[in-house]
Amino acid sequence: MQLAFASAILTLLAVGAISYRGMVLSSESDRSVRHTHEVLENLQDLLISMQSVESGYRGFALTGSEKYFQSFHADILRWQRDLTTLRNLIADNPAQQRQFPALERLANQKFEFGEKVISLRRTKGLEAAADSILRGQGQRIMDEFQGVVRGLQNEELRLLVLRNADAQQRLGQTKIVLILGTVLFLLIAAAAGWSVQRDTSGRGLTEEALRDSEERYRMLLDGVQDYAIYMLDPQGQVVSWNAGAERIKGYTAEQIIGHNFSCFFPPEDIERGRPVEVLRMTAASGRHEEEGMRVRKDGSRFLARVTLTTLRDASGNLRGFSEISRDLSESKESGAKYRGLLEAAPDAMVVVNQGGEIVLLNVQAEKQFGYRRDELVGQKVKNIIPEGFAERLIADGTRTAADALAQQIGTGIELNGRRKNGSEFPIEIMLSPLESAEGILVTAAIRDISVRKDAEKHLAQMESRYRGLLEAAPDAMVVVNQTGEIVLLNVQAEKQFGYRRDELVGQKVKNIIPEGFAERLIADALRSAEDALAQQIGTGIELTGRRKNGSDFPIEIMLSPLESTEGILVTAAIRNITRRKEDEAHLLQKVEELNRSNEESGQFAYIASHDLQEPLRMVASYTQLLSRRYKGKLDSDADEFISFAVDGASRMQRLIQDLLAYSRVGTKGMDLLDTSSEAALQQALINLRGAIEESGALVTHDLLPTVPADEMQLIQLFQNLVGNAIKYQNPGIPRVHISAARNGGKKWIFSVQDNGLGIDPQYFEKIFGVFQRLHKREEFAGTGIGLAICKKIVEGHGGSISVESQLGRGSTFRFALAGSERKS
Amino acid sequence: MKATRGEGMFKEVLLVEDSPGDVRLTQEAFRDANSSIHLHVASDGVEAMAFLRHEGVHAHAPRPDLILLDLNLPKMDGREVLANIKKDDGLKTIPTIILTTSEAEADILKSYQLQANCYLNKPAQLDAFESLVKSINDFWLTKVKLPHQRQSG
């Protein structure tokens, strides 16, 4: 009897000791599991702070706002703190620590890159910064960084799985010890009870204690909800059943006790005698563990981890089996583990199982998608993120973690999320596989990027809106912001200044246009658009532009303010006027050349005729002297020869004088003053008085207007025309009439009409030529310069001269002169 | 003795002319117009000034009663000669006539600004030239009254 109690007590003590050890070990495992979670969380923090760093400099690049610059630096500090924490956390893991230099190196590269982008934004502006981001160096660093972090995460996850398994194993062992102890205790108690029954002497107290213990252990077993714990007899019939078993398998104790445990197996396993085999294997080794499909009461299957242990009596006879099994498809345990991690994440986090169902999510996910947690758990993930992508996510999830990692799935993929209310919003999804005891889960970090998208869209819109406009412009166009930085420019600007676009964007505009003007341009920009417009700033100002190679070229700048969401920008249309300047200079040069040439030819005619006159005067004078002194003293031939020489010399003198007169007309710039043509005609008639009197001509005229003219030339014009009219006459009284009439416009048409010989129309053109004569010298004196001079005078006044005539019916010479402004 | 002759019935005329043809024509024309004229010739401006200032070979040159001055001359042109004459107190009272082929307005204006006594164009025709010389003789050497100013000293 004493022995029986003693053995019962010993058994209890042993069970207690084993349990304690199990508990201790298990709590150690728990600690390391917690530690692993901490490390994982910290790694996630590192990733997040790095992403914030990235957002910081990207934000600055986009907006130029100092707010982003400050957060960029704050995030770097945060990252460094996170790293220190992590370093302390994994001080015990040399393999993990070896990754640190890479982590730090990449982070520093990332920070440097960020600084570079920021300084680019500051010095060269948006486009340069955007370009450097788009070139992908930052992304490559980020990818590599994420790779390293993922490596660390994977290592921790691997450790987590190991530690979980370890913890579970220990827990399992402890439980088995407990069960075994309990069974032993029950046996001993039964034996004791039996002896108590025999030994009727009062053992109430002990019995009481025993019953208490039994009850306690039953409660203990029943309290285990996560594990099905039951006992089988040697044939496999269920003899005990706990609450966990009821929950997992669906049978109540009443329903299952007495039934063979083979009903837990799928039919195909039963058919091939699996249940019997399992019992045989357990009996042979004392313990059997397996993972296998099991069937619930309702026929549904689940993956179970099963541990069978033989129960033998003291003499070693097989008394039965205990079976502990766990439903591996249940994820409640893992949910609890990751929840803390998820909730700490700044992004919406959704964990999806291989069936594409949402297993877990955090508060941010609830908020972002507008669902309550319980509305999403168990739902297909494709309800909230795009179908195609959701499927891929699941497909990726079913691959091995290594595969998925190798593919770097979903790094920064931009998609749309769908809220409960049906509205969509832009998201960026980062996927990572999560190997867990329950199989591979996929963690999706979903970031709402609508703010960033909006900013990008705004910028792109502005760009595309103005770009089209700018590129369509024929001039070089440069858009400058209020700090004098070039924000936008077109191809023409690139060409004209010899810079590439990225070399100019963000540069100070004063690098390409003159300093003073650039400053004014900016100053103008700072005023209100209305002010600037009112001032019509810089309309067609001519300046000098400077090319990349330092050469200058003349430009004309037209400014216009451009009100944009970024404030007032100034659009400068810059026209290269080199060509125009050259053309102008060329034209000016041509005009000068022409003037000089005209002047020279005038000068030439003048000088030539003047210098020719000198020797000619000698010839003429001495032939005349010769003729006078020796006429009749030599022979008749000599007299004739001398007379030809005298005549030739005289004619040549007249020609030269006329040429001189012709060349004098219009050789100098004339000042056209208001001149009375009436008075000019009177003077001409005075000059012609001899001829008029001699011919008996009758010269009449209408009232003549005042016209802008050179008086001397106008006199000569009348003198030549009236002189001709009198000179080329039929016998009889020459009649000449001078009149003037407006021709509708401002011009006056003067007519000099005579009743003389008239002119054959075929000579109308010819008579205005130099030295053109229609008559023999013997008939009419003169060199034929008169009308050429008239033509030159009229044309010099911007008019024209013509003749209308018929042979024998007189002639009418008409010339047009501009009217005076004063007299209308 | 030249001075005595000039003071008497002879008139001293200085012709500043580089063209021998013109010199001879002028001599011919004066011979026809007035036989009591001594026509002295200087063929450039420098020589003319030397003559007027009795320099070198012209130490005994008479003070002319009239100067006929061409504008275009070698060495020192007529405008310069005119300016020198009119700056010189001893010479500026001598009537100085510009006799030239130039009809340029600028030459005419400049000459009068330099106080030429008159400006005449050489006519192209012999008759006209002879009649011009005759006019000069009639007016400047006959009718015009001049101060009895001799060369200073």
The residue extents of the domains of chain A are 2-179, 227-329, 345-448, 454-576, 582-661, 669-818
pTM confidence score:
0.39
Task: Give the number of other CB atoms < 10 A from CB of residue A378.
Answer: 11
Specify the pairing of strand B66-69 against strand B96-100. parallel
Task: Tell me the shortest Cα–Cα distance from B123 to chain A, in angstroms.
Answer: 8
* Domain range A669-818, its CATH number among 3.90.226.10, 1.10.10.10, 3.40.190.10, 3.30.565.10: 3.30.565.10
pLDDT score for A201: 45
Task: Say if B72 is an interface residue toward chain A (CB within 8 Å).
Answer: no
Mean pLDDT of B78-84: 93
pLDDT score for A592: 85
What confidence tens digit (pLDDT) does each residue in B96-142 have? 999 998 888 889 999 999 999 999 999 888 889 999 999 999 999 99
User: Which among A620, A625, A628 has the least Cβ separation from residue B124?
Assistant: A620
Task: Say if B106 is an interface residue toward chain A (CB within 8 Å).
Answer: no
User: Which residues of A fall within a CB distance of 8 Å from B124?
Assistant: 613, 616-617, 620, 653, 657
Token readout for A595 is 């003037």
Q: Which of A609, A617, A625 to mutate to test the interface with B (most CBs of B within 10 A)?
A: A617
User: Which residues of B fall within a CB distance of 8 Å from A659?
Assistant: none
Please check whether residue A359 is in contact with residue A441, taking contact to mean a CB–CB distance below 8 angstroms: yes
Interchain pair A624, B125: CB under 8 A: yes
Token readout for A412 is 């920064």
User: Which residues of B fall within a CB distance of 8 Å from A616?
Assistant: 124
The residue among A133, A153, A132, A160 whose CA lies nearest residue A36 is A160
Please check whether residue A722 is in contact with residue A688, taking contact to mean a CB–CB distance below 8 angstroms: yes
DSSP calls for A637-656: HHHHHHHHHHHHHHHHHHHH
User: Which among B101, B125, B127 has the least Cβ separation from residue A610?
Assistant: B101
Please check whether the domain covering A582-661 is classified as CATH 2.60.40: no
Give the span between the Cα atoms of A287 and A313, in whole angstroms: 16
Whether the domain at A454-576 and the domain at A669-818 fall into the same CATH topology: no
Interchain pair A621, B101: CB under 8 A: no
ipTM over 0.90: no
pLDDT score for A203: 44
Token readout for A428 is 């960026």
pLDDT score for B50: 94
Interchain pair A614, B101: CB under 8 A: yes
Q: CB within 8 A of A227, min separation 6: which ones? A: A175, A242, A244, A248, A324, A325, A326
Task: Say if A622 is an interface residue toward chain B (CB within 8 Å).
Answer: yes
The pLDDT confidence band at residue B151, using thresholds 50, 70 and 90, is very low
CATH no., domain A227-329 = 3.30.450.20
Give the residue ranges of chain A where pLDDT is below 70: 1-34, 62-63, 157, 159-225, 328-344, 386-414, 432-440, 452, 455-467, 514-542, 563-567, 602, 606, 666-670, 777-778, 820-824
Give the span between the Cα atoms of A576 and A344, in whole angstroms: 60
Task: Say if B129 is an interface residue toward chain A (CB within 8 Å).
Answer: yes
3-state helix, strand, coil split of chain B in percent (to 5) is 45, 15, 40
Task: Say if B101 is an interface residue toward chain A (CB within 8 Å).
Answer: yes
Greatest alpha-carbon span in chain B: 43
Please check whether the domain covering A345-448 is classified as CATH 3.30.450.20: yes
Interchain pair A621, B127: CB under 8 A: no
HEC assignment per residue over B27-71: HHHHHHHCCCEEEEEECCHHHHHHHHCCCHHHCCCCCCCEEEECC
DSSP state, A381? G
Token readout for A800 is 């024209």
Please check whether the domain covering A2-179 is classified as CATH 3.40.50.720: no
Mean pLDDT of B37-50: 92
Task: Say if B125 is an interface residue toward chain A (CB within 8 Å).
Answer: yes
Q: CB within 8 A of A804, min separation 6: which ones? A: A811, A812, A814
The residue among A396, A440, A432, A382 whose CA lies nearest residue A411 is A432
Interchain pair B102, A657: CB under 8 A: no
Which residue on chain A is closest to B26 by alpha carbon? A621
Complete domains list, chain B, with CATH? 2-141 (3.40.50.2300)
User: Which residues of A fall within a CB distance of 8 Å from B18?
Assistant: none
User: Which residues of B fall within a CB distance of 8 Å from A610?
Assistant: 101-102
Please check whether residue B69 is in contact with residue B96, taking contact to mean a CB–CB distance below 8 angstroms: yes
Amino acid, res. A306: V
* Domain range A454-576, its CATH number among 3.30.450.20, 3.90.45.10, 3.30.43.10, 3.40.50.720: 3.30.450.20
Task: Say if A667 is an interface residue toward chain B (CB within 8 Å).
Answer: no
Task: Tell me the shortest Cα–Cα distance from B25 to chain A, in angstroms.
Answer: 8
Task: Tell me the shortest Cα–Cα distance from B3 to chain A, in angstroms.
Answer: 33
User: Which residues of B fall within a CB distance of 8 Å from A613?
Assistant: 101, 124
Residue A8 burial (10 A CB sphere; 0-12, 13-18, 19+): buried
User: Which residues of A fall within a CB distance of 8 Å from B122?
Assistant: 617
